[in-house]
Structure 1
């Protein structure tokens, strides 16, 4: 195989990844950025792990052979094996994670194993590649540019560590803020280590070649000095993440920027002598500028971040700058020069190929960078979307052009006459062409404003009347305290433009939305966002859109003052009306038929309470997900329950959550993983400890470890303590912990019933307004209305039966009663109220529990029959808190 044929076939791999990237980007844009699910993650890894990493593997090997004056063929088989292995591993990781995103349900055991296997194969390929590079530079004859190979070896080492961090994150078992910290370390090693070091080392020789000028004095020396400093800067960023000190990572980021500026400045004379005019030169130059800018912004962002969640979120915001601005432009610019050079049979073919890839080069660069700039700035709506589309079109045009250029280079007749080498464009032409690209973005943004004027605050929500814009702007700073905006009321002169600078000074995630649909993104504690509310013509009200927050009082009154009286624009309805077409819900059009048979396939929640396990330290991994469950015949509701992922990857999650049982002195360690859509927490009443740390709210993707010792017996509740607490409990976020009293005697049957209420019809689960008002639709035992009417509890005449009861609420009391039965033992809130003895000592008919209380009763049944059990709040029994104990002879 000739070198040209080899390069053509290897280049097809890079092209395939770029085509996949373009497909995901376009499909995500067409669907408003929401589909395919996980498009953001796929875009990052199709470009970084796929296209860029393959280009690095291919071209770092090619340049190593070139600068060391080695044969391009003597190790080709091994090089091909490494490429095949790496792509197999990378493809496995991308596909497995793509399935995870599509399922939106966390990483199952099978998919996690696939991710780890793919990462291991990619790890092995990179390790082999790096070791082979090190061996070649060590054994080769001295060469002027041989030290540049050290950049490739160092970048490979960085990626190996980055892969390790990525595999650790995929496991999903990290406590506290470790997921965010490892994600920052992972991204640092991959972007600034693997990609950044490779780019900086390659440009030592490639940049003057692209410009067709001699290398400036001092370039090699600057690169040699810069390599250890760049590696040290990457190490400082990673160490800062591992020790949890964001300011250390900020210092590393600033140090990397300083070294990059030093190395880049050594090339200044080359640019002065031969300014870039081609697409290749302009694209590479723009890419390096984006990297330097992103580093400076990132250093400031890290330094001012309140916690590691904010650090990671701010790094995520830089994705457009780092991957679109830096990586994509450097990659496409370099390939635009390299592809013609390695594929051309003759100089004429190379020159013809270069001309194709340079078609409208400055205009494409201008459009790409202007569009990327708008894309990277805060905001949303059609102006952003169309500007981003222009950037994608400008960058994506490389794909058809590179195919055309490759075809032209390979088919051009060997005896075709040579044409003059492409000449540099005059500076005026370059600037004019780039201005044309910028104009394309301006036009696209203008069309976006015409389609969606609200995206830029034009004009005025004025209650249907007319309002003249004053031209003045009112800027208001708004904070958050608890479940309130501070201030909660702002006044704006009628006709003024309102800009709200919202800082989340609270302790959990919030946002602010307005009646016309504009709003901020969801902000973690410490994050900020600016909301341009446009020209104000009427009094209106904004609110936090997270479930239940508006009902808790998170509203912002915007009062228009001056001028004629303005009509009030009401806030959007707090909940959606019950509807059978609501996503995740199935509600009957009329009254719920609680007597309906749930069907032969119905499986009731197992009410049997197993004995306490022998282990004195019990460890559990609870995972929160958004799930859809049937809660009554023909009624499906979205819930947020605690669940457990089994070894086979299956998820068991429902309300109540997993039941824990132990003895006094047992230690419980629960790792809580939030794979739901909003922040959640957990509070175990069975443990006594300061709530600040273990009961804190964790955002999606985070985890924490909750450890407590059971020092007192009782039937204890656990639940989510994130505000509004009533809504989270009503959405199924509760469970029971049973700590046996000392010397608890054995019985023939032991059951657990957890009573709770359901409030149907909310857009994301329970209806917040109904919860706040106490307008319950169902009251149930163990999560399903009347389920033990259809699947009764069982006993025999004379059997001693113990029934544990916990009232999860969130609002209603329980008056547990067994019709036809009498309790001879009552244990409530840690104490016996009644124990068997002399028949004259009396008995009990009801175990009365307030929300969050628990206990147990014992009884025997005198004869065979069906004994209903209910809460004696009879209206609640008629809403589903009803079951049967079937007693046989």
Structure 2
């Protein structure tokens, strides 16, 4: 990934060149400066985005890809080219440098286009960006392949071939990422994300880094490269490549067994290479040196590789455990995203910065003194930087595990001064700032190193050992043998220097540890002060003013989840005992979980699945609930009772119950604004008849859907839209619907137009299953269809409603026919209790509290509050316009009215209430429909103009139930 052995310095000059300074491009160092400019730009941009990320949509995706594509992939192209020339001894002529720079800027342009498409959710722009990125990497692979073919008996050909193979994987990863931009539902979102990470991180980056370390690692350690051992280890690179392909197929096919077998093979291949790397480190440690090694590259690369191995192992364990789930044996996207932090922050950034801290001083050249000064600058405060950064990462990873083992390690790493249950939002923010400061120190020290290099140039005299402020010393790599052998075997007082180094390293480690502990303590205190974590953590401390001592005993209780209940729902535990819950989901259809108020969670369990929840030592009463949206509101709660403990300070159990006042606050809507640029206005025209026999598929998916300008909802949908597709059937026709559940929880279907026993046809099906639902449409009307899974109000409010239209017999032709389905939606305000449960970044979860209080935020037509205001329905003067209307609910009806129009035809719930030219000369001003009722009205416009169709219950109209009709002459 980020390579350059010392042999680079001794590579032959380009053919036809008279010397390094004769090239018009200014030589190789000039090429490095030009080629690395995009890396610098992405580094600066990343710092800016981190500082303002809370105001940027999809900021997590943006930061991850600025690291992986902006920093990592660009660095691979720069240093991969540099390293290939050094290893193959085929340094290219200066005339090839402009093409290489163009290739790097092409990659930069591809990432910029991808970002341009991803942030506003323009999937086809993302596809274009992926194609540009792929083109740059294919070009890069082809260029390296040509250099391999032109080389004369290269000794390190295996590393460059690994670069070529790894680069060929990235277009596949880019293609998978482009498909994800179209937001496929589960299980495909999880499968694609898993395959995307396997190909890009384990394949492209993992293989490139591992191949690089075979030669870079001895160079950094200034020891000889064991060519025979390196060639033996290179077989592991091929094994890693093949294993990535196999694991990717396992991910795409949803086969945990196939994927895990190949992931084991990947780990084995990596360890085969790692044995050589460890042997190299041991050999270097035994060498006696006059000049100590630059410390930061060694520590940072070592830490990054360790995170890589541990994260791959963690992925293997989680993937294998998912094999008993019903979600098509696939990990969900949320599970895979848990590995983003250790892969990106633990592995990628540390290896990148570690390698660049060695390579940049080497490529700046300027003589031994200049290089040594630059290396010393890059290694300032190496030990505290590495210790603090990795400890912060470890705390974040352990806090997210939700297991007793993770909690114990968390407490151990903080020397018993902090617990996961007290790791609140302010603690996380402060520790994130500490880790960010460590990362920002790299570009700062890079500037310092450049200045030190320039200051000490043109001095080629031997230089005595100089110690950096971190306690590490740098030496001039150009004075080393070409293969990276030790700079000196002199025996002048090595022991004394080693002892001093040990003391300084220990001091640095304590400084890094102390900084993290101090920040953690400060954050915990602030969290408790503002009440974001309980003053009593509930794990072996005092409760309610009475000290409870851990007994050392364990209480194990079995709890079943079914029919929106925990059984039993009261768990009595002797105070001081550890509680272990054997949790099983005995619901045949629905997904459930258990969350305790102290943060312990079981994770989501598919029907028939079970798990063990280690709740820790119980010192006081503790509430628990199912976090699936709406399940808690339906009574799916339990309570842990600490038998023998005193009452808590407020006389109540520890609970994370939301504040009703906050959750009932309105979400502000700008109904004058146009829909977002990525929103596609729904075609309101009545679909054509499908004939007497119709079969179709409705797919249940979870998406982030815009329901008002700039306002996203965590939606449950049929076919990906709030308000499912309009269905049409004819009288007496047979309609078969295949319901496919690709969402993350159980769903069902209720077709109001059918006469059928609900026991089988309307049953809830778990994720990954399908259901056939057949009816005969014997009665005319505008019929509601919806999800019938409890709590129905939540599923309907989340978007799982639609209209089935069966026209009455003998219905006359109309010039225009439109369908308007009214639905209301209830959102958790940003920052209110429950908002943290958002599945999609920037989206509002559905609020059961607002549903119960009947306080909707938006009442809309066809899934969006302003779409037909900015894209009006159309008609002409004299045309007969028929408007089919359905009040889908879940709770509110409609008084449908067209401002400036009079209805001469009204059809409601299967019968005409008014026909044209009736004997009374009557007309209608409104069609009144209760929730789940439907009908149609007809009118003829006599003058051109803009007419407004509204819900004349104006409170609902002012929440978005409005559509314009543009009538032209």
TM bucket (normalised to shorter chain) is 0.7 to 0.9
Pick one of 399, 404, 428 that aligns with 2:502: 428
> In the alignment, what sits opposite 2:836?
none
Question: Counterparts of 2:338 and 2:786 in 1: how far apart (Å)?
Answer: 33
Q: Cα offset for 1:48?
A: 0.8
> In the alignment, what sits opposite 1:363?
384
Mapped contact 1:185–1:238 kept (Cα < 8 A)? yes
> In the alignment, what sits opposite 1:66?
86
Mapped contact 1:309–1:524 kept (Cα < 8 A)? no
Pick one of 777, 781, 791 that aligns with 1:712: 777
Question: Counterparts of 1:44 and 1:779 in 2: how far apart (Å)?
Answer: 36
> In the alignment, what sits opposite 1:206?
216
Task: List per-residue Cα deviations over 1:199-244 (Å, max 9, x = no partner).
Answer: 1111111110100011236432223311221111101111101221
Q: Cα offset for 1:350?
A: 0.5
Question: Counterparts of 1:26 and 1:120 in 2: how far apart (Å)?
Answer: 30
Pick one of 459, 467, 490 that aligns with 2:536: 459
- For the aligned residue pairs, the C-alpha RMSD in angstroms reads 5.6
Describe how 1:336-735 pairs up with structure 2 within 5 A. Answer: 336-379=357-400, 380-381=423-424, 382-415=426-459, 417-420=461-464, 422=473, 426=499, 428-429=502-503, 430-452=505-527, 459=536, 465-472=544-551, 480-494=561-575, 520=601, 523=604, 525=606, 536-537=619-620, 539=621, 541-544=623-626, 547-564=629-646, 567-569=651-653, 576-577=660-661, 582-584=666-668, 610=686, 612-613=688-689, 625-627=704-706, 658-663=725-730, 664=733, 684=751, 711-713=776-778, 714=780, 715-730=782-797, 733-735=800-802
Task: List per-residue Cα deviations over 1:386-412 (Å, max 9, x = no partner).
Answer: 444433333332221112112221343
Cα distance change on mapping 1:668 and 1:80 into 2, 3 Å: farther
Task: List per-residue Cα deviations over 1:642-679 (Å, max 9, x = no partner).
Answer: 6999xxxxxxx77x6553324435777899998xx999
> In the alignment, what sits opposite 1:246?
256
Q: Cα offset for 1:520?
A: 4.9
Mapped contact 1:755–1:781 kept (Cα < 8 A)? yes
> In the alignment, what sits opposite 2:181?
170
Question: Counterparts of 2:682 and 2:207 in 1: how far apart (Å)?
Answer: 58
* Equivalent position SS for 1:18: helix
Task: List per-residue Cα deviations over 1:14-68 (Å, max 9, x = no partner).
Answer: 232233333434555xxxxx55442322222111111010110011111111111
Mapped contact 1:504–1:523 kept (Cα < 8 A)? no
* Equivalent position SS for 1:391: helix
> In the alignment, what sits opposite 2:44?
19
Question: Counterparts of 2:714 and 2:369 in 1: how far apart (Å)?
Answer: 67
* Equivalent position SS for 2:331: helix
Cα distance change on mapping 1:464 and 1:690 into 2, 3 Å: closer
2:129 matches 1:129: no
Cα distance change on mapping 1:722 and 1:395 into 2, 3 Å: farther
Q: Cα offset for 1:491?
A: 2.5
Mapped contact 2:294–2:375 kept (Cα < 8 A)? no
Mapped contact 2:111–2:129 kept (Cα < 8 A)? yes
Mapped contact 1:585–1:638 kept (Cα < 8 A)? no
> In the alignment, what sits opposite 1:148?
159
Mapped contact 2:582–2:610 kept (Cα < 8 A)? no
Higher relative contact order, chain-length normalized (CA < 8 Å, sep 6+) = 2
Pick one of 259, 273, 287 that aligns with 2:283: 273
Q: Which moved more, 1:475-484 or 1:356-365?
A: 475-484
Q: Cα offset for 1:810?
A: 4.1
Cα distance change on mapping 1:425 and 1:440 into 2, 3 Å: farther
> In the alignment, what sits opposite 1:298?
315
Question: Counterparts of 1:395 and 1:882 in 2: how far apart (Å)?
Answer: 51
> In the alignment, what sits opposite 2:268?
258
Question: Counterparts of 2:195 and 2:803 in 1: how far apart (Å)?
Answer: 38
Cα distance change on mapping 1:303 and 1:696 into 2, 3 Å: same
> In the alignment, what sits opposite 1:49?
69
Task: List per-residue Cα deviations over 1:586-633 (Å, max 9, x = no partner).
Answer: 9xxxxxxxxxxx99999xx99997462569788999995454559xxx
Cα distance change on mapping 1:749 and 1:156 into 2, 3 Å: closer
Describe how 1:222-237 pairs up with structure 2 within 5 A. Answer: 222-237=232-247
| TM-score, with length taken from structure 2 | 0.70
Q: Cα offset for 1:801?
A: 10
Cα distance change on mapping 1:196 and 1:757 into 2, 3 Å: closer
Pick one of 149, 153, 166 that aligns with 1:138: 149
> In the alignment, what sits opposite 1:5?
30
Question: Counterparts of 2:441 and 2:247 in 1: how far apart (Å)?
Answer: 36
Cα distance change on mapping 1:565 and 1:419 into 2, 3 Å: closer
* Equivalent position SS for 1:377: helix
Cα distance change on mapping 1:195 and 1:712 into 2, 3 Å: same
Contiguous gaps of at least 5 residues in structure 2:
1-25, 286-292, 401-422, 466-472, 475-496, 676-680, 833-843, 920-925, 941-948, 964-969
Question: Counterparts of 2:265 and 2:512 in 1: how far apart (Å)?
Answer: 34
Question: Counterparts of 1:620 and 1:511 in 2: how far apart (Å)?
Answer: 26
Q: Which moved more, 1:501-510 or 1:149-158?
A: 501-510
Cα distance change on mapping 1:83 and 1:447 into 2, 3 Å: same
* Equivalent position SS for 2:668: coil
Figure out how many residues of one structure are paired with residues of the other and give that number. Answer: 812
* Equivalent position SS for 1:310: coil
| TM-score, with length taken from structure 1 | 0.75
